Amino acid sequence: MSRKLAFTKMQGLGNDFVMIDAVRQPIQLTEDQVRYLADRHFGVGCDQLLVVEPAQTPGVDFRYRIFNADGGEVEQCGNGARCFARFVFEQGLTDKREIRVETKKGIIAPRLEADGNVTVDMGVPVLNPADVPFVSDSDAYVQPLDVAGTSVAITAVSMGNPHAVQVVADVDTAPVAEQGPLIEHHPRFPARVNAGFLQVVDEHRVRLRVFERGAGETLACGTGACAAVVAGILRGLVASPVAVETRGGELTIAWNGVGTPVLMTGPAVTVFSGELTLP
């Protein structure tokens, strides 16, 4: 049976989202319905669909669920986390400017800043290959990955979702379209992976493109920016804080080293709200 669904379209550096309030309108979306909502011709159109649900853990404000445009549920989304914090505040679901949110991979803590940006404590990056997950018999921070006969030096990092970061001379000419899907589906990443292409500009500035798992290349990827800075610091190429230039805009990432959380600061913008009938 069809039903009407209220939604809000938001974006963080061009990484766009359909936000669903499942606190006041409880709903369980099917994969087909997620794909319909994400479709840019027949639905609303988005990179990911984000669902706000009541918290299931004491001391936490909300549950945060993330669905890629292909309908699959994933663990984490950094740009989405910033939009999530603004959405629940603007919708009156909370009057807190800092909240605690549970995801599939742990608790994050977004905070609305006075200047309108949002800072998110993204948690401690996971570097142990088995926990990324990345199939390897080495725990080195830089490892070779065979991509269609080419050896690519990658750093495997999980920010709640898996990333493979490589350093390139110029992101504008990097083989994102060619290597991105091959890395995403590489057998050494059993849960698939987000492929990051990192260009170092100077010690505190980088440029980044990310081919996202289940979404393809997006204008920006928040967890990808976090993973890229972690990889750059581990390789001795950059120092915290780091400005990350994406095709959609700029994020600031701070990280004090192994065992400490990554802080991400950037914009979150409401585009429009509406209502549609689900098939």
* Segment 30-88, tens digit of pLDDT: 999 999 999 999 999 999 999 999 999 999 999 999 999 999 999 888 999 999 999 99
User: What span, in angstroms and rounded, lies between the C-alpha atoms of 38 and 13?
Assistant: 18
Q: pLDDT averaged over the chain?
A: 96
Q: Give me the amino acid identity at 157.
A: V
Is 221 an annotated catalytic residue? yes
Residues in binding site: 15, 48, 68, 78-79, 161, 194, 212-213, 222-223
pLDDT interval class at 148 (50, 70, 90):
very high
Closest residue by Cα to residue 89 from 6, 4, 10: 10
User: What span, in angstroms and rounded, lies between the C-alpha atoms of 104 and 64?
Assistant: 8
Return the pLDDT at 2: 73
Q: Specify the 3-state DSSP secondary structure of 137.
A: coil
Residue from 46, 83, 221, 226 carrying the catalytic annotation: 221
Over residues 172-199, the mean pLDDT reads 98
DSSP for 16-33, written as a single string: EEEEEETTTS-----HHH
Return the pLDDT at 157: 98
Return the H-helix or E-strand segment holding 155: strand 150-158
Going by their DSSP bridges, the two strands 150-158 and 162-167 should be labelled as antiparallel
Residues in binding site for substrate: 15, 48, 68, 78-79, 161, 194, 212-213, 222-223
Return the pLDDT at 3: 87
Residue from 46, 77, 83, 226 carrying the catalytic annotation: 77
Q: Which alpha helices (DSSP H) does 157-208 contain, by range?
A: 176-184
Return the pLDDT at 129: 98
For residue range 92-145, what is the model confidence (pLDDT) as tens digits? 999 999 999 999 988 999 999 999 999 999 899 999 999 999 999 999 999 999
Is 83 an annotated catalytic residue? no
Q: Which alpha helices (DSSP H) does 1-64 contain, by range?
A: 31-38
